[in-house]
Amino acid sequence: MRQFIRITFATLAALSISAAGEPLPTNMALIPATQYRVPYRSDSDAKVVEVKEFAIDRLPVTNGDFLEFVQANPGWQRSKVKRIFADENYLGHWASDLELGGADPRAPVTRVSWFAARAYARWKGKRLPTTVEWEVAALASEKAANGESDPEFKRRLQALYFSPACDVLPRVGSKAPNFYGVYDLHGAAWEWVADFSTAMVTGDARGDTGLDRQLFCGSSGQNGKDRSDFPAFMRFAFRSSLKASYTVPNLGFRCVQDL
């Protein structure tokens, strides 16, 4: 029994060491360097992008985590935040500036704007993931780094994305982690990314072509080449509907760190 425990701990530790042999920050998982095939891109975007290795929070940022942040940074408290940085629903599910009330400290924090998420990440010495980084982490099923070849995983995801959002989000880490040891990338809250504003969607209709060129210079917005990954498309469409000051009941975030 003791031997088993020792081996388990060694493996866990091994998984937390980066390629450079540096230990990872607490509660972060290593995503190794990889190449990512971009599903939603215009003709002038690269098809495949190189992604450097990075560390990602195993868990979404929780209400409890965010409470610590606003205690240390009063300017980000609900009654003090500047309206340009967060809309009037910011942290609406808390009882007050510094009281969670009925909000579960271990549930993902939601109703936070992009500005607020970014400020938290900076406070932690981290940053928000890019879309590509988030999607690479989310590609993994429980058993494989790339869940695209796992039809059962895909089916489960479709079911998750089609079911209505929970009124109350479950505690973080309550379900099985993915291959990288990351929890709650699917089926919990949507998550902010640093470059959400690069998702520029225009319509597919022919009549929209003129509209494309009026609204967006350069490429005519992005096309969805691979429609089979509907959850990815939903995430892409969702991101393109966001503005940085929006707070949404089921939109939270997590952080990454460069290695």
Q: Which of 9, 15, 19, 82 binds other proteins (CB under 8 A)?
A: 82
Per rule CB under 8 A, is residue 214 in the interface with other proteins?
Answer: yes
Q: Which of 36, 179, 216, 233 binds other proteins (CB under 8 A)?
A: 216
Give the chain's end-to-end CA distance (angstroms, integer). Answer: 35
Per rule CB under 8 A, is residue 116 in the interface with other proteins?
Answer: no
CB 250 within 8 A of CB 189: yes
Interface with other proteins (CB under 8 A), residue total 27
CA-nearest of 123, 64, 121 to 98 is: 64
Minimum CB separation of residue 79 from other proteins in Å reads 12
Per rule CB under 8 A, is residue 234 in the interface with other proteins?
Answer: no
CA-nearest of 85, 135, 89, 134 to 110 is: 89
Per rule CB under 8 A, is residue 223 in the interface with other proteins?
Answer: no
Rounded Cα gap, residues 185 and 168, in angstroms = 16
Per rule CB under 8 A, is residue 60 in the interface with other proteins?
Answer: no
Stretch that binds other proteins, among 101-109, 111-119, 141-149, 174-182 (CB under 8 A): 111-119
Kindly identify the residues of this chain, within the stretch 170-209, that bind other proteins according to CB under 8 A. 194-195, 197-200
Minimum CB separation of residue 44 from other proteins in Å reads 4
Q: Which of 215, 226, 237, 241 binds other proteins (CB under 8 A)?
A: 215
Rounded Cα gap, residues 89 and 81, in angstroms = 11
Rounded Cα gap, residues 80 and 128, in angstroms = 23
* DSSP, res 199: -
Per rule CB under 8 A, is residue 219 in the interface with other proteins?
Answer: yes
User: With b meaning 16 or more CB within 10 Å and e meaning fewer, what string describes 40-63?
Assistant: bbeeeeeeeeebeebbbbbbbbbb
The binding site for other proteins (CB under 8 A) comprises 42, 44-46, 82-84, 114-115, 118, 194-195, 197-200, 213-219, 221, 243-245
